[in-house]
Structure 1
Amino acid sequence: MSHEQHANPRQNVTFDSASESGHAHGYLRVPASGNGPGVIVVQEWWGLTDQVAGVVDRFASEGFVALAPDLYGGRTTHDAEEAQRFLAELPPERAARDLAGAVTYLLARPETTSATVGAVGFCMGGAFVLTLAAQQGERIGAAVPWYGIPGPTTDFSGLRAAVLGHFGEEDASVPLDAVRETERRVREQSGAEVDFRTYPAPHAFYNDERANHRPESAELAWARTTAFLREHLR
């Protein structure tokens, strides 16, 4: 499938990518202070929605220069069947190229004060965060997957980031046995600091647009995330 570009009012930056078009788009916010550590925010399978943009805005309010790459080329949905199709049409290698381009772009922004960037992702994006950290090595200083893990054959040997993960104990789609096995493999293959936390919550408990939203777990995980990013991004 061609990487067709659709209008998305949330897109406000364009950056170089190794994808077919040679560029990708995203949503960037700079904190009121004018600068701060850089954080890549990787979308759920719904696309670059208002909810994802709200996460970027919230990171900016916490003092981070935050960028959400638009991996679907402008498309968004609130329908699970359509989201599944969008995900199926997204070659992992193209997503990796767009995300790598976003890392390069964010590190080059004059507002970014950190020598590495953080990567934070939700659901599909959580899996992409760990893959991105393994591919980008020293350029990712902190990786925070929320209720998403990559496939069992993923090679984590190149990962150099500190890792903090957030997972729901009631998540039927991401079993805790698989979460613990991924945590073990990341630690053993990379030697990185890895801390996977669990919460009394279902899948997608941070997303306040979904029925699974659990405010108490969401806010605890958010506080842990921002403290972790501040600690590891210099």
Structure 2
Amino acid sequence: MSQIKTKIVATVGPASLASDIFQKMVDAGIDFIRINTSYGDYDQYDRILANLKNANKTKAIEVIYDIKKLDVLDYFTKNNLRYIALSFADNSEYVKEVKAFAPQSFLISKIETPQGVKNFDQILEHSDGIMIARGDLGKTMSLEQIPPLQKEFTRKTLEKQKLVITATEMLLSMIDKLHPTRAEVSDVANAVFEGTSAVMLSEETAQGKYPAECVQYMARIIEVAETWMEKNRLLYL
């Protein structure tokens, strides 16, 4: 497989804790692992970090530490992690508060609510990156509003030369099926066409039956989409 530009984020959970499964995800091409502190405990996080340390890697793999409450940041500091994904980053004041606590962090604000949508420009200004968290957005807004918001937020974030991650339900059917739906494949490819910095797997790799296969499939979709873009000289929109 050729080197792809769009990064892959894989959430690690019970389905991918075993070292052999973790290694298969590494071999499939992950660039980031995500620790979701809404689930699990510090013993589980220790096991994830140990797997990362011991894995046979051909490139650097970073950790995204996803938080809802500030009381879990001591673990972040203790383990010298760099990337924070801040859940429910509804306003720039909250973003600045977290940044003040961890000034050396790379802070990714998750846009998940109508308040986050309304305050997007200010949140972006004080963030190092943005995660378009479509799952929670879809619980508080009508679903048909999400695609244009995704496109708008991707464009604005790239204009600021910041990281943007497209997340949630990208290959959701692969939780219990070996192949994604055609709509899911189109969803991942469309995110690549929009210029997203990274695409993210959540339940697919944390809880599903086929975590490594999900990463493999996502990498293939990205490769084909990027190859088509290069051949057609399609600019990121």
| Higher helix residue share | 2
Higher relative contact order (CA 8 A, sep 6+): 2
TM-score, length of structure 2 as denominator length: 0.36
| Higher strand residue share | 1
